[in-house]
């Protein structure tokens, strides 16, 4: 048994060399942030039973928006995620959590418009649809994510890593976006 004065080793996950770059400071002043994300981010966790009933799977947590949520992209304009929309938000693989956590401040808000635009829309049966029937390419859609990440304070190295990961992971469905 250890002595009462002995130090208990820390149990926090080990951080890679990128850890100093992962302190979060917003990328824009608060007034600008509130114009870009003008509505509160209100979601509720979907329990496993509800997720199974909706064929969402059981390998991650899903969320339902309790109110409309809006991202006003400086490049693409307003993107409105409607109340009642379901999402898994940031799907960061667990092996990458030492680099970027899926619930970090630089991932939550940016993931909402990215996930919403990523979904298949009817009657088109394709992905990447903005209002007024403008469709994005997969690369443009991934830039929606990294643009919002920059606003939320993500540095260039983290944004580039996330961009490369989502481009690679979604290459098999590239044809479901504008060409």
CA distance 38 to 26: 15
Orientation angle between helical segments 138-151 and 156-169, nearest 10 degrees: 150
Please state the pTM of the whole predicted model.
Answer: 0.83
Model pLDDT for residues 70-110, shown as the tens digit of each residue: 999 999 999 999 999 999 888 776 666 666 777 788 899 99
Digit-by-digit pLDDT tens for the chain (179 residues) are: 555 565 655 544 455 444 444 567 889 999 999 999 999 999 999 998 999 999 987 778 899 999 999 999 999 999 999 999 999 888 776 666 666 777 788 899 999 999 999 999 887 899 999 988 899 999 999 999 999 999 999 999 989 989 998 999 899 999 999 98
Backbone angles phi, psi at 130, to 5 degrees: -90, 170
Using DSSP, state whether 97 is helix, strand or coil.
coil
Helices marked H in the chain:
30-36, 48-53, 108-118, 138-151, 156-169
């Amino acid at each position: 048994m250890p002595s009462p004065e002995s130090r208990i080793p820390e149990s926090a996950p080990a951080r890679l060399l990128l850890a100093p770059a992962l302190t979060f400071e917003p990328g824009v002043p608060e007034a600008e942030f509130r114009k870009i994300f003008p509505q509160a981010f209100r979601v509720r966790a979907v329990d496993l039973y509800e997720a199974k009933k909706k064929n969402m799977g059981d390998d991650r947590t899903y969320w339902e928006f309790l109110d409309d949520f809006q991202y006003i992209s400086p490049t693409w304009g307003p993107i409105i995620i409607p109340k009642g929309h379901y999402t898994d938000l940031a799907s960061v693989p667990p092996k990458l959590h030492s680099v970027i956590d899926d619930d970090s401040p630089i991932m939550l808000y940016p993931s909402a418009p990215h996930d919403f635009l990523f979904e298949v829309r009817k009657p088109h049966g394709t992905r990447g649809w903005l209002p007024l029937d403008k469709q994005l390419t997969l690369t443009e859609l991934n830039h929606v994510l990294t643009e919002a990440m920059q606003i939320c304070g993500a540095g260039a190295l983290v944004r580039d890593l996330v961009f490369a990961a989502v481009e690679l992971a979604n290459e098999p469905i590239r044809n479901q976006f504008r060409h």
